[in-house]
Amino acid sequence: MEELKVINKQLIKSAMSFEEYFELSKKLVDENRTTGNNQSEGMIEYTRLNFSRMKKWIRTGDLDDSLKETITKLENPVTWLILVEPWCGDVAQNLPFIKKAAELNSNIELKIILRDENLEVMDEYLTNGGRAIPKMIALNNDLNELATWGPRPKSVQKMLEKGKASGDFDYQAFAISAHTWYAQNKGKELSEELNAFVKKQIK
């Protein structure tokens, strides 16, 4: 039955580490391109901007002490599988903190896959019917789901839903508000959500 599961051992084995994803992002920026079929200047610029955001949070981001303490209590091996794309702003704003959390416990293996190359996985984890990323799934050794997180902290998700409900949704205005929120919040709300995410994985 193993091969019938959309998340199987082969998928996990072929998934990227954070370092491999970082190198992919750097290569895309260096080559002035992005992932997928849409190679428009806008998508390439998003990829460039997101690589800068990712580097910033790797350098300056920190996790809340409560999350750090919870992570030390995780004694069973888990895989954190996360769906991403380099052009996605929410990925760049959250993934560095997730990487820092995973590094705190050797029982956690962070694995990264591209959304558009893995739609069969993505379609099992839709948000309000949409393929929103990042989306993270915690799995045990048997690849059974323990917890999920994503696609963004609740405050940003509410901002998005409120904008869409208004009937006159301006994505650019939302993006500016969202990235301003991320810059000011500095991973605090994400730390709280990751704390709850990790607690679900502790036996």
Number of H helices, E strands in the chain: 9, 4
Q: What is the pLDDT of residues 119-142, one digit of tens each?
A: 999 999 999 999 999 999 999 999
As a whole-number percent, the residues of the chain with pLDDT over 90 amount to: 92
Rounded average pLDDT over 139-162: 96
Beta strands in 85-143 (DSSP E): 108-114, 135-139
| Residue corresponding to tokens 């901002």 | 159
Sequence-ordered list of residues with C-beta below 8 angstroms from that of 29, at least 6 positions apart, any chain: 47, 48, 51
As a whole-number percent, the residues of the chain with pLDDT over 70 amount to: 98
**Average pLDDT score over the chain:** 96
Q: With bands split at pLDDT 50, 70 and 90, how would you rate the model's confidence at 186?
A: very high
Rounded average pLDDT over 8-18: 97
Q: What is the pLDDT of residues 36-91, one digit of tens each?
A: 999 999 999 999 999 999 999 999 999 999 999 999 999 999 999 999 999 999 99
Q: What is the pLDDT of residues 52-62, one digit of tens each?
A: 999 999 999 99
Q: Is 193 exposed, middle or buried (0-12, 13-18, 19+ CB in 10 A)?
A: middle
pLDDT for residue 4: 55
Give dist(CA 130, CA 146) in Å, integer: 22
Q: What is the CATH number of the domain that holds 62?
A: 3.40.30.10
Domains contained in the chain, number: 1
Kind and range of the H or E run holding 78: strand 78-84
Range of the domain at 151: 2-199
Q: With bands split at pLDDT 50, 70 and 90, how would you rate the model's confidence at 163?
A: confident
pLDDT for residue 73: 97
Give dist(CA 88, CA 95) in Å, integer: 11
